Amino acid sequence: MTVTTFLEDLFLGGMLAAIANEPAARSLDASAAIRREGCESVVLETPNWIILFPRHRDTARFETELAVLTHVRGRLPVQTPDVVWTGDHTCCMAYPKITGTDFIPQHWHAATSVERQRLTGSLADLLSAWPDAFTTADIPQLGISSIGGPPYLGQLTATLANFPQQLARASRSS
């Protein structure tokens, strides 16, 4: 990828204008598109597609994200985005939307302990599979840098009591 132009207008109009300029998006119906945002990116969501625009202005980070998504495909117990195209004019990536269940905090708080345990077990499966998806050599080769460290480790450790007992014991012994 050689695109280094990052989208300045991360609002719905700016994203729609950006994809209108992308050859790969010409057949994309964006008439019902909505804008969603996260810490690292803003996305344009259509009924079938996600077009992700990074908030950061770092081509290397974007390239790393693409490499990691390709690397983890099929290695985790969940679907992962399968990037179909990246922008020719603006730094963005597009992939078919992965449909599932939305996490709604009110539903979580109203759930039974069995329902909460099922979700927690599913998340625990994902967290425990994540380290196995990478070898020691993969980390520098893919350009992955650590964003964790003690604050994140402490936060995760404090929540281990909510995880299935067999996983909580395994993580304490490692």
Q: Considering the domain boundaries, does residue 6 fall inside one?
A: no
**Of the candidates 48, 57, 99, the residue with the CA atom closest to the CA atom of residue 78:** 99
User: Is residue 2 in some structural domain?
Assistant: no
At residue 164, what is the residue type? P
Domain boundary (96, 116, 133) is at: 96
Among the candidates 72, 96, 120, a domain finishes at 96
Residues 73 and 147 in one domain: no
Long-range CB pairs of 4-12 (<8 Å, 24+ gap) are 4/59, 4/91, 5/89, 5/90, 5/91, 6/53, 6/54, 6/57, 6/90, 6/91, 7/53, 7/90, 7/91, 7/92, 10/37, 10/42, 10/53, 10/55, 11/35, 12/44
Is residue 140 a part of any domain in this protein?
A: yes
Please provide the average confidence, as pLDDT, over all residues in the chain: 86
Question: Tell me: the pLDDT tens digits for 98-152?
Answer: 988 888 889 888 999 898 888 888 888 888 888 889 888 998 899 887 655 555 5
Full domain range(s) for residue 138:
105-173
pTM higher than 0.85: no
- Chain segment 98-113, per-residue pLDDT in tens: 988 888 889 888 999 8
In a domain, 55, yes or no: yes
| Strands (E) located in 55-126 | 85-86, 93-96
Burial environment of residue 15 by CB neighbours within 10 A (0 to 12, 13 to 18, 19 or more): buried
